[in-house]
Chains A and B, each alone.
Chain A
Amino acid sequence: MTGLRYEAPENLNAAMALLGGAEGSARVMAGGTDLIIQIDNEMIEPDLLVDIKNIKEMRSIDQVDGGYRVGAAVTGMELMEHEGFCATWPGVIEGVSLIGSIQVKGRATVGGNVCNSSPAADSPPPLIAAGATATIVGPNGSRDIPVEDIAVGPGKTSLAKGEIVVAFNFAKRPAHSGEAYQRFTPRTEMDIAVVGVGVNLTLDGDGTCIAARVCLGAVAATALLVDEAAATLIGTKVDEAALDNLAKAASAACRPIDDKRGTIEFRTDVAGVLARRVALVALERARKN
């Protein structure tokens, strides 16, 4: 017999009241693809689960000021089925479509993927490269923060007790901009990133890069937004010389661990190779846009 309680409130205020008023520990539950396993393994022992999937504003994908607002409890499959979003942010979709199987993506949410704070998660690098912000509500009101400010370490976020990520915001995509995400894994499906790279860049009318964001996953305790890597592209035509510098800067930023999936040396090298490849895909997309 367990004391675990389950609530599925229909609005944010009720969710916050539950999270704030709970005796013992309360957890937000979205798709449960991390949470249910952690409860099963007794890694966490919450007293209350607050299921946020019945909160409408967390489940919708809306166009706002020419950009997109994606509810944090939108599932991977729902986002992948949204034609407009897929056409605008293909790199984010590349990350999301790598989150496990069809079954897993039918449940897993982007909010959960970000808040679980796995260094190897596949949606944070493209979200961060995209410059997405997260709208967070909690006992002290609402705030917007860059996605890179959510994870602070493996399994740890900067969210205060009772705070919920409600939505992710994507600004209007500028002309001549493109982004992409790829990861390296031994197997093409159902594996965990050894390295993941998201690149987002904007060109001017002549094809010179005027803005770039480069984010590396699985090579440090959190996804890394690497300004030094972005700087190698800005002001260039993203030519061979610039790509060489990008690869060097990406490798130089790595602070990976050694494990069965990849050694430090391997991850560091692959980060550079992948950054170059992903930048080329982003470039191709920027030229067409």
Chain B
Amino acid sequence: MAKTHITTTVNGDEYEVLCEVDQTLLDVLRDELHLTGTKEGCSSGDCGACSVMVDGRLMCSCLVLGVEADGKSIDTIEGMADGDVLHPLQRNFLELNGLQCGICTPGILIAAKNLLERNPNPTETEIRFWLAGNLCRCTGYDKIIRSVMAAAEEMRGN
């Protein structure tokens, strides 16, 4: 069976990829495009480590087929900083210890960014519900939530 040729935009750059139908978007990002910032935790939609945006919509890339990315625009963690300048979410996670091992962090940052794009002033409860699909084994979540709230406040101020 021939591989399928797709054209997809990742973080604003267009890529041509040959992929198998049973490769997930997570596989394509990591193994074909070598964008390994997006992490694999469970491959069953439970952990959120693989979160990306597809046409602005937050999804688990382990539950999207690579072939479905044809003609779509994908945002991953690699596109979050502006060159050397970290996104306010990234900076606040660093300053407020919103991460320990860091495996969950790319997914959480993408999910949080997606939330703040839709709702610049979320309550703590809204943040907790929005991030319920992102599991973290290290931090106990509290510092993650505080980092998101601090980033949101900073971004509203600008």
Contact = CB atoms under 8 A, between A and B. Distances in A.
Interface of A: 1-6, 8, 31-33, 36-37, 39-40, 49, 51, 77, 100-104, 106-107, 189-190
Interface string B52-71: 00000111101111011000
Contacts of A190: 46, 132-133
A6 B65 contact: yes
Contacts of A32: 63-65, 68
Chain B interface mostly? mixed
A3 B1 contact: yes
B95 interface: no
Nearest to A81: B118
Interface centre among B20, B21, B48 (most CB of A within 10 A): B21
B129 A107 contact: no
Given A6-B65, A37-B63, A106 B57 contact: yes
B1 A103 contact: no
Contact of A189 (B1, B22, B132): B132
Contact of B133 (A3, A31, A104): A104
Contacts of A51: 68
A77 B132 contact: no
Given A3-B1, A4-B22, A33-B63, A103 B48 contact: yes
B24 interface: yes
Nearest to A4: B21
Interface residues of B, number: 29
A107 B51 CA distance: 12
Interface string B112-138: 001000000000000001101110000
B43 interface: yes
A1 B1 contact: yes
A104 B60 contact: yes
Contacts of A189: 129, 132-133
A187 to B, nearest CB: 9
Contacts of B68: 8, 32, 51
B45 A5 contact: no
A4 to B, nearest CB: 4
